[in-house]
Amino acid sequence: MQNLELKISYTELENENELNEQEKALMQKAHQSCSLAYAPYSHFFVGAAILLENGITVCGNNQENAAFPSGLCAERVAIFSAGASYPNVKIKTIAITCKSKFFLVNQPLSPCGACRQAMSEYEMRYKSNIRIILQGETGKIRIMNSISDLLPFMFVAAELKK
C-alpha cells in the first residue's frame, strides 16, 4: 500500500477589485445572472458567466423544478448554451457566484460534481484549459486555471476507447 498526496493549485484574492477588468466584468455578469435564477424551492441562487474565445459572454443561472431533480445548475445551463450556440468556440473563463435568501454567502463555493464533469468535457473537447473564478455573494475570490484543479480524477472520454 502506498499513501499518495494530491495537491491543487489556486489563487485567492480578497475581492473582485483585484481582478483584471475583463474578469471583473465577467464576475459582474455572473452576479447579474444569479439575480435572475429560478430557485423557488431552495432559495439558493447561482449565476455563471462564460467568456468565449471570440469575446462573447454567455450567461446561465440555476433553474429549479418541482419534479426534482429535473432542474439544472447555472454552470451547465451556461456551458450547454455556449456549446449549442457557439459549437466551435473555446471557453476561456467561467465566473460563478451564488447567494441565498436565508444567509449571506461570503465565501466562494465550488460547482457540484456534475458541473465539474461537464466543464471537463469542454476542456477535453477543445484541448484548452478553462479558467474558473469563484465568489460568493461577497468576499474572497478563488481562481483555478483548469477544471483538473477541482476534479483531479475526472472521467476522461479517451478511457472509453481502450
Active-site residue set: 75
Distance CA(149)–CA(162), nearest Å, equals 25
Distance CA(20)–CA(27), nearest Å, equals 11
| DSSP code for 73 | -
Closest CA to 95 of 54, 128, 141: 141
| DSSP code for 157 | G
Burial label for 160, CB within 10 Å (0-12, 13-18, 19+), is exposed
Distance CA(97)–CA(47), nearest Å, equals 5
